[in-house]
A and B are shown apart, each in its own frame.
Chain A
Amino acid sequence: MTAQPITSPRPAADGAGEALLSVRDLTVTFGRGRKAFRAVDGVDFDVYPGQTVGLVGESGCGKSVTSLAIMGLLPGRGNTVGGRVTFAGEDLLSMPADQLRDRRGRDVAMIFQDPLSSLNPVVPLGVQVAEVIERHKGRNRSDAQQEAAAMLKKVGIPDPDRRLKEYPHQLSGGMRQRALIAMALACEPRLLIADEPTTALDVTIQAQILALLKELVSESGTALIMITHDLGVVAGLCDEVNVLYAGRIVERAQRHDLFATPRHPYTGGLLASIPRLHEERGRRLTPVPGSVSDNIPWEQGCAFAPRCANAVDVCRQQTPTLVPDRDAVGDDRLLRCHNPLTANPVDDTPTVEEDAR
C-alpha cells in the first residue's frame, strides 16, 4: 500500500452547470447594539459538485462560523444571520428547522476538529452510525447496522463489527475521525463540510485522513468545503481557495495560482511566514507583524492595514472591495486590496519593500 503517488487529477471547477451551494452576502453578528461583533461579514462563494473549496484563515477570521451558519448550527440566541445560502435551489437560512434537520446529514454533512467531543461518549459507535442511517435512509435497525459496518470498512477501520460495539473513548484519535467521516458519509451527502478535520491529529494520521478525503471526493463526486488554517493542507487538497481575514474574503484563486502568485499581502504574509521543509536552512522568516487584536474595523478601511507592510494611506481611509483581479496570473481571481503584491514574497526578492515606498 505504501508509497502511493498522490496524483489524482482534480476536476477543475469549470463553472459549468449549477452551483450546488451558493453563499451570498452571508453575515453573522454576535451580540446587539454597540457591543455587536461581526464574525462573518458579507461572504460570497459557490461550490460545484465534485469541487473542493478551501476556506483558509487564522483563528477569529470567521471560517468556522461560516460553516456553522451554513449548517444552521449556530445557537439560536445571541446571533443574527443575514444573507442567502442556497443549496440545490433551496434557501437553507429560511428553511423551517425540521426540514433543515432533514437536509443535515442526508444532503449536507459536517466533520469537526475534535472527533471525541463530536461523538456521544456513552453510546456505542455502531448505534451512533446506524442512527444516522436509520433516520435519513429509513432503514430498519439491522439493515442500518450492516450498512454501518460497511461504512466503517470503507473509511479504513479494520474489524468493523467489533468496533461498532465499542465506545468512542476506546478508539484512537485517527480512528474516531474516521468514524466521524463514516457517519458523515453514511447517507452519501452531496456536500461535506470539514472544519479543521486534521488539526488535532498527528502528521502521519493527518496524511491518512487527507488521502481518504481526496479519494472520497474523486470517487463519489461529493463536494467538499475544507476549512483549515494550514496552507499545506490546502495546497494538496483544494481546487479553489478563499482566504479569509477578519470575517471577509480577501482573496480567492485557484490553488496553483494562489500559491504561485499570492496577491493579497495577508496571503503573501502567511506564505512567507511558514518554514518550508524543502528549503535552505536559516532563511529568515518574514512574519506578519502584530496580531488580530491590532485590526481596524472594515468600515474605516482595510482591517489588515495596521499589520500590512504594503499599506498606503488609502488603506486606512477607504474600505477595499472584493473585485476581479485582472493583473494576476490565472482566471477567476478575486482580490480585496488597494495595493496588492506584485511579486511572490516567498521568492527571495525584495520587491515588496520597494513597492511599499
Chain B
Amino acid sequence: MTDHLPDTGTSPGSTGTGSGTGPAEPRRPGLAGRPGARKKERIDRLAEAGTLSEEEGVSLWQSAWRRLRRDPVFLVGAVIIAAFVVLAVIAPWIAPHDPAARLLIDQRTTSNPIPGPQPGHPLGADDAGRDMLSRLMVGARQTLIVGVLATLGGLTGGLILGTLAGGIGGWMDGVVMRIVDVMLSIPSLLMAFSLAAMFARPSQWTVILAIAIIQIPIFARLLRGSMMAQRHSDHVLAAQALGVRAPAIVFRHMLPNSVGPVIVQGTLVLAVAIIDAAALSFLGLGNPDDTQPEWGQMLGRAQQYFNTHPEVAVYPALCIIVVALGFTLMGESLREALDPKSRR
C-alpha cells in the first residue's frame, strides 16, 4: 500500500469509466485542506459507485404507465371505457330519437306489449313505445354518473376511515375497524336496500348514496391493511428516525404507498356499483323518473316481459356486462402494472 498519492489518477484515462479505483487508498483524515486531492477522490468514488444514466428519473406511476401502454388487456379495457365515457357525454346529440318520447306507443297492443324492430328503430321500443337504441345510448350517462359518483363516495369515505385507522392507530384503529366490521357483517345488497328504502322519495341520489355507503368498509379495510404494512416498513421507520412529524409521515409516506391497491379496487368496484345500482332499480328502489333512462332501471322494467320478449332485458344487460368488463380489465392490468415485483 505504498503508491497512493496522485498517481492513481493516471490510470483512468485509457480505460474509461471503471478503472478509477486503484489498489487500497489510505484513510484520509481531513480533506478540506487539499481541494485538488479531494476532487480527484470524488471522481474515483463516482467511478466506484457505478454509472447512472443521465436521464431524468422515472417514478413508479410513470414506469407503470409505460408498461400499461403496451398491455393489450389494458388497452381493450381502456377502449371500452373511453367509448362508454364518450357516449355518455355526446349521447343526447347523436341519439336518433328523444329517449322520453313515446314514438311507437300506437303499436303497443295487449297481445304484443313491445313494438319490434322496424326501420328507424333498429332495436325496437320498450313497453312505453320509446326507442330502445336512443334509451340505451342516453342511459350511458346516468349509469356512468351513478357508477362513478357511488364509487368516488365509497372511496372517499374509505380513505378517511382507513387513514384514521391506519395512520393514527391504537384505540382509533380499534374503534374504526369495529365499525367497519359491523358494516361488513351485513350483506351489502341488503344494506343498500335498507338504506335506499329509508328515504321517503327514492331518487338517483339515494341510489348513489346507498351504494357509496356499502362500499366504504371495503375500501377502509383495504387501505388500513396496506397502511399497517407500511407502518412497519423500513422507510417509515427511517422517516421517523429523521424526526419527520407524524402527519407528514402518514400523508407523505404511508398514504401514497398504500393507495395503489385502493385505486385498483376502485376500478373493480365501479363495475360492481353499476350492477348494484341496476339491482336497486330492478327492485323499484331506483330513480322513479323514467324519462331519464338508466341501464339498471331499464333492466328492472324489462322483468315483466322477460318471458315473451327477453331482448328488452338483454340489451341493457349486455351494456352493463361490457362496461363492467372494461373496468375489470383495466383494474386488473393496473394492479399488475403497479405490482413492484413485475417491474423490470
Contacts and interface: CB of A to CB of B under 8 A. Distances in A.
A291 B49 CA distance: 8
Nearest to A290: B50
A357 B3 CA distance: 14
B156 interface: no
- For chain B, give the interface size range: 20 to 34
A307 B50 CA distance: 8
A323 interface: no
Contacts of B11: 309, 353, 356-357
Contacts, number: 77
A327 interface: no
Interface stretch (B17-25, B86-94, B248-256): B17-25
Interface in B1-60: 1-3, 8, 10-11, 14-27, 47-51
B272 to A, nearest CB: 33
Contact of B24 (A285, A306, A356): A285
The prevalent SS among residues of B at the interface is loop
A287 B22 contact: no
Contact of B50 (A283, A289, A313): A289
Given A284-B1, A305-B18, A306-B18, A353 B23 contact: yes
A154 to B, nearest CB: 39
Contacts of B22: 309, 350, 353
A309 B19 contact: yes
Given A289-B20, A294-B18, A352-B23, A357 B50 contact: no
A284 B1 CA distance: 9
Contacts of A286: 21, 23-24
Interface string A295-310: 0000000000111110
A353 B48 contact: no
Interface residues of A, number: 27
The prevalent SS among residues of A at the interface is loop
Contacts of B49: 289-290
Given A293-B50, A353-B3, A312 B23 contact: no
A115 interface: no
B18 A311 contact: yes
A173 B165 CA distance: 35
B18 A284 contact: no
Contact of A357 (B10, B24, B27): B10
Given A289-B47, A290-B51, A294-B51, A311 B25 contact: no
A290 B47 contact: yes
Nearest to B1: A348
Nearest to A356: B11
Nearest to B26: A284
Interface in B181-211: none
Interface of A: 282-287, 289-291, 293-294, 305-309, 311-313, 316, 345, 348, 350, 352-353, 356-357
14 contacts: A283-B1, A284-B24, A285-B24, A287-B21, A289-B21, A289-B48, A289-B50, A293-B51, A305-B18, A306-B18, A311-B15, A312-B15, A313-B15, A350-B23
